[in-house]
Structure 1
Amino acid sequence: MHDHPLQRFFKSQRPRPTFEWERFQQRDVLVIDHPKCQAVFSRQGAQLLHFRPQGQKPWLWCSAHWPQAGAIRGGVPVCWPWYGRHPSEGMWPAHGWGRLVDWKLHDSSEDNDGVTLHWRLMLCDWQVDLHARLGEQMELRLSTEHQDSLPCQLSHALLAYWRIGDVNEVSLEGLDGVRSYDKLSRKTTTHTGELEVTGACQRVFSGASQVHLKDHAWARKLAIHTADSEDTVVWHPGSRPLLGVAGNESQGFLCVEATSGSQDNLSLAPGEKAHLTLQARLLN
């Protein structure tokens, strides 16, 4: 398994401040080096691209080569204000504008246990805030406030690419008895036992607030919480080629996503807020 492409920032012998802006593949990235963890955010999309608690392997996967313009594949893209294809505008970008535009770093701070960041995006009649808490664990909280005088429709997701040893040697606990919709076969079923990914997978699990990602190759288990989301989506392309992803790079990730509104859009009244949370911690 190759090094994470953003690990290069942490190999220098020079002392590095906790927060430092760098330029990488034509993007502004915020490099975070704290005694408890290392991380990298992109200003574009407020996208957490790399996270590694001290002494551990990276938790997030990121493609080695990024397009000159457009979305970066990997980390935790913020899919907003729609998830997937737009329901009526076929030419609009998949997963919305949120991951394509620059966000403002509203605040950042550190303490003995880690770092806290607050990103903000003001777009049309929405205020979107992403709060991140990183240390020995990872927490991302996305909040959307609708500031128009008329109701609006919304779907959103925190689409996490989890770094793994080999997709053929992972399984997910916590989905036994949970109803799911298979977007590839277009069938609804109730899942039984652990989920193993064999080939392409795109499953939407309703009401699964916590899953355990068992990575047998790396002898690691992560608890992934999606508590306030409607659905937990599990996705992997299988052998299908992905634009910008070379060779067998895709063997090194599995997407477990927190989503809401992906089946039926959320309706927000004026002044109403919508929230989405993604948390992870090491179990062994």
Structure 2
Amino acid sequence: MISHLKLKTIRTLNEHISIEVDQNGFEFIILKHKKFDAAFSLHGAHLIHFQAKQAAPLIYLSKTAVYAPKKAIRGGVPICWPWFGSNTESKQKGLASHGFARNSEWTLSSFNSTDLGIDIEFSLETSQSTKAIWPHDFNLTLKASLTDHVELTLITENTGETPFHYSGALHTYLHIADQRQCSVQGLANDYTDSLQSNQAKQSAQPLHIDHPIDSIYAVNDGAIVVKDDAYQRTISVSNEGNDSVVVWNPWVEGAKAFADMPDDGYQTMLCIESAITADPGHLVAPGESHRLKTVIK
């Protein structure tokens, strides 16, 4: 799934983990375990690949994704933070959609591998460059626990003296075999068409996607289940700490409009995102933290 990147090992951290680079020196953390193969980019602490042994890839990555500073990677699990989409302030300042975390260089802060799996953490802290964009003091940690499934936890800690609100998402791109043979169950009945829409709608169950979709669903008890019939599997997505679930697929015209997605890329991807989208976001008091989590099986 990532062989097209043509990576070269520059450092081995242990028997399961290495640091590799592409031809432009873009760094990746490569995980090779008896249960799975996976990869992160230090750019954005971005999970770009996960594939359990003897199974199809679980995470979609665009073959034409661009790997460059200040550019978001198309696919994987981008971290949208500290805002989702564009808010009033970010529009006024001309700031990037979905915040700066996914376009920042993170630090690999810890890792541990056993026969059961790999735990790995990445961190991003306040800096002069973040203060120029967002005026708050913070410590952001992505904890990833990988076994035969993926568990991602984004921890937002307020290290300053004043409270702040944040919104965002673990913007998961699921890899599926064929959109035409796929359905989604377990979504809440209530949703809106987009961040710009205030009109509540009622959804049909199960959800079959045969058109562009960018919908925000209310939080529902239980897992969201994707039936991926062409791969003869189901994918379960469970979320915590979110106030909504975003379902997104750009469909035909949307994919054609992206230079970093093949024209047929929409056929094999579906985003189901653990998200915080309600205005003004989640309040984090000084010295407190909040966890946004997704588990994908």
Give me the TM-score of the superposition, normalised by structure 1: 0.90
Instruction: Name 1:163's counterpart in structure 2.
Output: 175
Question: Contact 1:165–1:252 (CA<8 Å) still a contact in 2?
Answer: yes
The structure richer in helix per residue is 2
Specify the SS of the correspondent of 1:168: helix
Distance 2:151 2:251 in 1: 28
Deviates more, 1:33-42 or 1:185-194: 185-194
Question: Contact 2:157–2:290 (CA<8 Å) still a contact in 1?
Answer: yes
The structure richer in strand per residue is 1
Aligned CA distance change for structure 1 residues 42 and 228 (closer, same or farther; 3 Å)? same
Give me the TM-score of the superposition, normalised by structure 2: 0.86
Aligned: 1:118 with 2:121 = yes
- Which of 146, 167, 192 in structure 2 is aligned with 1:181? 192
- Which of 251, 255, 259 in structure 1 is aligned with 2:271? 255
Instruction: Name 2:166's counterpart in structure 1.
Output: 154
Query: How far off its partner does 1:258 sit?
Result: 0.3
Distance 2:196 2:292 in 1: 28
Deviation per residue, 1:141-175 (Å, 9 max, x gap): 01000111112121021000000011222110112
Query: How far off its partner does 1:279 sit?
Result: 0.1
Matches within 5 A, 1:47-196: 47-67=46-66, 68-69=68-69, 70-90=71-91, 91-124=94-127, 125-175=137-187, 178-183=189-194, 186=197, 187-196=199-208
Instruction: Name 1:217's counterpart in structure 2.
Output: 230
Deviates more, 1:39-48 or 1:192-201: 192-201
Aligned: 1:270 with 2:286 = yes
Query: How far off its partner does 1:263 sit?
Result: 4.1
Deviation per residue, 1:32-79 (Å, 9 max, x gap): 000011000000010000001111110001111233441111100111
Aligned CA distance change for structure 1 residues 88 and 185 (closer, same or farther; 3 Å)? closer
Aligned: 1:208 with 2:224 = no
Deviates more, 1:181-190 or 1:140-149: 181-190
Query: How far off its partner does 1:8 sit?
Result: 6.8
Cα root mean square deviation, aligned: 2.2
Specify the SS of the correspondent of 1:202: strand
Deviation per residue, 1:202-251 (Å, 9 max, x gap): 11111125200111111110110013311111000011222311221221
State the one-letter code of the partner of 1:87: T
Question: Contact 1:154–1:261 (CA<8 Å) still a contact in 2?
Answer: no
Specify the SS of the correspondent of 1:82: coil
Question: Contact 2:62–2:75 (CA<8 Å) still a contact in 1?
Answer: yes
Query: How far off its partner does 1:192 sit?
Result: 3.1
Distance 1:174 1:147 in 2: 37
Deviates more, 1:260-269 or 1:159-168: 260-269
Question: Structure 1: which 5+ residue stretches go unaligned?
Answer: none
State the number of aligned residues: 274
Deviates more, 1:80-89 or 1:54-63: 80-89
Deviates more, 1:78-87 or 1:98-107: 78-87
Question: Structure 2: which 5+ residue stretches go unaligned?
Answer: 128-136
Question: Contact 2:241–2:290 (CA<8 Å) still a contact in 1?
Answer: no
State the one-letter code of the partner of 1:122: E
Aligned: 1:243 with 2:259 = yes
Distance 1:208 1:149 in 2: 34
Deviation per residue, 1:73-122 (Å, 9 max, x gap): 11001111111113312110111110111111111111111100011111
Specify the SS of the correspondent of 2:267: helix
Specify the SS of the correspondent of 1:99: helix
Distance 2:156 2:57 in 1: 29
Distance 2:164 2:111 in 1: 31
Specify the SS of the correspondent of 1:226: strand
Distance 1:8 1:45 in 2: 17
State the one-letter code of the partner of 1:82: W
Distance 1:103 1:83 in 2: 19
- Which of 269, 274, 280 in structure 1 is aligned with 2:296? 280
Deviates more, 1:202-211 or 1:133-142: 202-211
- Which of 11, 19, 22 in structure 1 is aligned with 2:20? 22
Distance 1:185 1:101 in 2: 27
